[in-house]
Chains A and B, each alone.
Chain A
Amino acid sequence: VSASPDVIVVGGGVIGCAVAFELARRSVRVMLLDKSLPGRATSASAGGLWPVGEAVGLGCGVIYHASRKEVDPSDAANAVGPTPLPDVFRDFLIASNALFAPLAGELKEQTGIDIEFAPGAGLLFLVFDERERCFAESVCRSLPPGLRLDYLSPHEVRQVEPRLTGKLLGAALLTGEHQVNPMLLAEAFKRAAVKHGCVFRPDTRTTALRRSGDRVVGVEVGQQFYSCGTVVNAAGSWAGRLAATIGLELPVEPVRGQIVLTETLPKILNACLSSASCYLAQKAHGEVLIGSTTEHAGFDVSVTPEAIGALCRGAVQAVPMLRHVRIKRTWAGLRPGTPDELPILGAVKGVSGYFNAAGGFRTGVVASPLTGRVVAQVVCGEQPCVNVVPFSQDRFAASNGSAITPHSSTPAGAAVSEP
């Protein structure tokens, strides 16, 4: 058994693997602890790389908004979509997305894994009615110079995507928004990390963090204690529970997303599609992934016939031929959601030896390359290549003082309870 590692990364999803990779290539002695729990977001992500699309609320954003609209009809009159996320996060996603093209080659070279980075026609937001058209046009207007969202006529839409329904008023096209295989991406990050000396421990559930005074000194895995200089919390939807074991209030809540995957089809879609009821992406092996609900259902990873039905109806409405296509499987994942939909990254005031790589919500995959990089940079004491202050956990603590509660030394064995 080697000496204790410098850094322990808790969580082997796409974020934890990316952080471990960036640390290991900086010659940090890093250990990655993973326990694959039902509902991990990496296994349920569409793998959409839609930095601008997600920032302006296409993809899950608009679906989430539409689902809330049903609860509050007075809201419906004004807008179809949500308000865009802050520019600083949009720019973070754009910068992260730009890393994929070189990363795909690098990971392939180092691990032999093809992350299925697939440049396609872009992300197409489908417009079925006037309200949606207003929304799409307002999104077009809100974009700064340099970012383009083209509003296509029905005729132009069919040229991009001939299988689409003829009932569209039009569509908004974001070129340069592609997709990847999220599970292979995580696996490739992990393998590359191991290649650079990272120790990977599968099937190892971190039950608690341990602190001594204001310092985090290691992690507990049941009765075992792993000592280390620094802990990175990349525990996805479980990050809040993990932080709670040292009295940290990390506002991460699981947001369930149910998805439907079709049988393998010949290539029928050129673009990733997004509408008010679902999004669709045809994956490298020909399956069409149809997502996704946004539900607060705790750690319950069940699928419901109602949600699956709604996704199928949305998909058939957009691409009628899918009516005759078989569903291969359906499942649900838990997005690590935060109150302001932004990730929680970096150090926390008043506690040392602890860093967050948490709250990936619905953009964890596209954000993973840059998240890995900036978290590794702050862990190593380097100047991060982008400003991470807006993503600090301290933004939630501003109103109620210190993030860490004064007398919260964790009792031994205080476990992250089972979902």
Chain B
Amino acid sequence: MAAAIAATEAGLKPLVIDENAAAGGQIYRRSPPALRGDRRSPRSSPNGAKAALLQRFDSHRDRVELLTGTTAWAVFPPRRLAVTDGTSSKTIEPEHLVLATGAYEYLPPFPGWTLPGVMTPGGAQAMVKTMHVRPGRRAVVAGTGPFLLVVAEQLRRAGMEVAGVVELAGTHEAIVALPGLLQHPTLLWEGMRLLYRLRRAGIPVHRGQVLIEARGNGEVQEAVVAPCDNAGQPDRSRARTLAVDTICAGYGFVPRTALAQLAGCKLRFEEALGGWVPEVNSDLQTSVPGVWVAGDGGGVAGAVVAELQGTLVGLAVAHDQGALTQAAFRSRREPIVRRLRRMEHFRDVLDRLHRIRPGLVDLASAETVACRCEEVTRSEIEIGIAAGATDLRTLKVMTRLGMGPCQGNMCWPATSRLLAARTGKPVEAVGPSGVRPPIVPLCLGALCPTGPGQPEEDSP
């Protein structure tokens, strides 16, 4: 939205494509029209400050072409975008393609993680925020990062009992990080306010602890939590159980780079940004001219950075198109770059505090399913690695890991860390998972137009 606003204000008429029914993405997600204004259903409060972007976008609507309910299923190099509305498909070839694809949650496998009742914090958030449904009665929110606090508070507001927040990073580390976080007092204040609210509601935040297992008969009944060291290694002798029916678990985010990969953009590995990210120049143009990336899809850094980056890309595209003079571009670019730079140190400290720790690799037991699409267990992967399948391709052939519909999106971030640990290579040497179109489910029929001039078929 920010990129479209900036481009529009410079006089361009951008086309915005969104897979949801309305623009807004994950952060400013809107309910389906049928659910709006239903005051009886549980909901979190609308955030006034954040609603500003939505309002600005809406006020530019007449100058933006908006395609909602439309999903990009491929980019054919360099910039030919294929989109589908579910029943048909078409390609669009813009002069500039801005990828603002966001991120998905990182969840390394742990015993019981496939039980109904285990979900990611983002999944739970979407349920209460968008669909106005409580995922259960009593939840624990576990993993790492400030997002856990946000979701715990939203669940509480939605009327759920929250048994606690389980945070991988220890208290001592959090205190050491505090001065660095003062770089961005507003965000720190927001975090403090969240903590205060949780505390007032009697929701404990267990720091330096890790969720090691979900238990239950057919659905979640208990969460097993243990204290851990700085490497994330749990002390199983001190494990205890929490009686819950909902477990929200997430360890930060992984950038969605599939479209950038299909466009042929070069990637680099940056642990602090969530893993593999497209290489970009100072205006966020990728290695493929005319392909730009803004927001978490280019490296996880949160909503504030995403909006600034979106504005920057919108201006840069407008400048490239000749809609902004060099001087106008510079003067508008400067304050954004300054704000982005100020965020950098804050992000560094936060990313370090909430880093992915090596102990997470060993949460899974032999029977734990590692690849949910193809139901490949941890022990099958270990056997494959031991037999010499030490690269992605061979491991896929041998175990079918990543051969399912998600193409390894879900399992590869965790499996690549396992492979790195077992082979002694750095994670970046193991490589990103490959991407092949379509990146979202697409029926054959969407590519087979019917009607006059088309060959007739039988009714199925």
Minimum CB distance partner of A302 in chain B: B77
Point out the residues of chain A lying under 8 angstroms from B403, CB to CB. Answer: 285
User: Closest Cβ of chain A: how far from B443's Cβ, in Å?
Assistant: 6
Contact call A325/B437, Cβ cutoff below 8 A: no
Asked if A316 is an interface residue, CB under 8 A from chain B, the answer is yes
A234–B248 alpha-carbon span in the complex (Å) = 51
Asked if A321 is an interface residue, CB under 8 A from chain B, the answer is yes
Point out the residues of chain A lying under 8 angstroms from B438, CB to CB. Answer: 327, 329-330
A312–B436 alpha-carbon span in the complex (Å) = 16
Identify which of A91-99, A140-148, A303-311 touches chain B. Answer: A303-311
Interface code A185-203, partner B: CB below 8 Å = 1, 0 otherwise? 0010001001000001011
Point out the residues of chain B lying under 8 angstroms from A312, CB to CB. Answer: 444, 447-448
Residues 149 to 188 of chain B near chain A (Cβ within 8 Å): none
A328–B398 alpha-carbon span in the complex (Å) = 19
Minimum CB distance partner of A36 in chain B: B393
Contact call A317/B444, Cβ cutoff below 8 A: no
User: Closest Cβ of chain A: how far from B445's Cβ, in Å?
Assistant: 4
Known A285-B400, A303-B437, A312-B448; judge A263-B405 contact (CB<8 A): yes
Contact call B459/A320, Cβ cutoff below 8 A: yes
Point out the residues of chain B lying under 8 angstroms from A322, CB to CB. Answer: 444
A321–B398 alpha-carbon span in the complex (Å) = 31
A315–B445 alpha-carbon span in the complex (Å) = 10
A260–B460 alpha-carbon span in the complex (Å) = 21
User: Closest Cβ of chain B: how far from A277's Cβ, in Å?
Assistant: 10
User: Closest Cβ of chain B: how far from A114's Cβ, in Å?
Assistant: 11
Point out the residues of chain B lying under 8 angstroms from A184, CB to CB. Answer: 397
Asked if B74 is an interface residue, CB under 8 A from chain A, the answer is yes
Give the interface residue-count category, chain A.
35 or more
Minimum CB distance partner of B264 in chain A: A302
Interface code B383-408, partner A: CB below 8 Å = 1, 0 otherwise? 00001101101100110100111010
Residues 371 to 429 of chain B near chain A (Cβ within 8 Å): 387-388, 390-391, 393-394, 397-398, 400, 403-405, 407
Asked if A43 is an interface residue, CB under 8 A from chain B, the answer is yes
User: Closest Cβ of chain B: how far from A342's Cβ, in Å?
Assistant: 29
Contact call A43/B393, Cβ cutoff below 8 A: yes
Asked if A395 is an interface residue, CB under 8 A from chain B, the answer is no
Point out the residues of chain A lying under 8 angstroms from B89, CB to CB. Answer: 305, 309
Point out the residues of chain A lying under 8 angstroms from B74, CB to CB. Answer: 305
Main secondary structure on B side of the interface with A: loop
Contact call B447/A309, Cβ cutoff below 8 A: yes
Known A167-B458, A303-B76, A317-B457; judge A187-B394 contact (CB<8 A): yes
Interface code B58-80, partner A: CB below 8 Å = 1, 0 otherwise? 00000000000000001011001
Point out the residues of chain B lying under 8 angstroms from A166, CB to CB. Answer: 458
User: Closest Cβ of chain B: how far from A132's Cβ, in Å?
Assistant: 14
Minimum CB distance partner of B390 in chain A: A202
In-complex Cβ contact of B437 among A43, A167, A329 (8 A): A329
A316–B456 alpha-carbon span in the complex (Å) = 10
In-complex Cβ contact of A187 among B82, B397, B436, B457 (8 A): B397
Contact call B436/A326, Cβ cutoff below 8 A: no
Contact call B405/A308, Cβ cutoff below 8 A: no
A304–B441 alpha-carbon span in the complex (Å) = 17
Asked if A262 is an interface residue, CB under 8 A from chain B, the answer is yes
A323–B443 alpha-carbon span in the complex (Å) = 6
Contact call A305/B444, Cβ cutoff below 8 A: no
Contact call A187/B398, Cβ cutoff below 8 A: yes
Point out the residues of chain A lying under 8 angstroms from B398, CB to CB. Answer: 187
Asked if A324 is an interface residue, CB under 8 A from chain B, the answer is yes
In-complex Cβ contact of B445 among A183, A263, A302, A323 (8 A): A323
User: Closest Cβ of chain A: how far from B339's Cβ, in Å?
Assistant: 39
Residues 241 to 259 of chain A near chain B (Cβ within 8 Å): none
Point out the residues of chain B lying under 8 angstroms from A264, CB to CB. Answer: 404
Known A305-B91, A320-B460; judge A329-B407 contact (CB<8 A): yes
Interface code A314-352, partner B: CB below 8 Å = 1, 0 otherwise? 011100111111111111000000000000000000000
User: Closest Cβ of chain B: how far from A313's Cβ, in Å?
Assistant: 5
A205–B80 alpha-carbon span in the complex (Å) = 32
Minimum CB distance partner of B444 in chain A: A312
A262–B444 alpha-carbon span in the complex (Å) = 8
Known A285-B400, A320-B460; judge A325-B443 contact (CB<8 A): yes
In-complex Cβ contact of A326 among B394, B442, B459 (8 A): B442
Minimum CB distance partner of B450 in chain A: A323
User: Closest Cβ of chain A: how far from B384's Cβ, in Å?
Assistant: 11
User: Closest Cβ of chain A: how far from B49's Cβ, in Å?
Assistant: 40
Asked if B455 is an interface residue, CB under 8 A from chain A, the answer is yes
Contact call B397/A183, Cβ cutoff below 8 A: yes
A308–B443 alpha-carbon span in the complex (Å) = 12
Interface code A219-259, partner B: CB below 8 Å = 1, 0 otherwise? 00000000000000000000000000000000000000000
Contact call A308/B447, Cβ cutoff below 8 A: yes
User: Closest Cβ of chain A: how far from B437's Cβ, in Å?
Assistant: 5
A330–B447 alpha-carbon span in the complex (Å) = 13
Contact call A302/B76, Cβ cutoff below 8 A: yes
Residues 202 to 220 of chain A near chain B (Cβ within 8 Å): 202-203
User: Closest Cβ of chain A: how far from B394's Cβ, in Å?
Assistant: 7
User: Closest Cβ of chain B: how far from A392's Cβ, in Å?
Assistant: 33
B-binding residues in A (CB < 8 A):
36, 43, 165-167, 183-184, 187, 191, 194, 200, 202-203, 260, 262-264, 285, 302-305, 308-309, 312-313, 315-317, 320-331
Query: Could you write out 16 A-B pairs with CB less than 8 Å apart?
Result: A36-B391, A36-B393, A165-B457, A187-B394, A187-B397, A304-B76, A305-B80, A309-B447, A313-B447, A316-B444, A316-B457, A320-B458, A323-B445, A326-B405, A329-B407, A330-B437
Closest 4 CB pairs of A and B: A323-B445, A329-B436, A312-B447, A312-B444
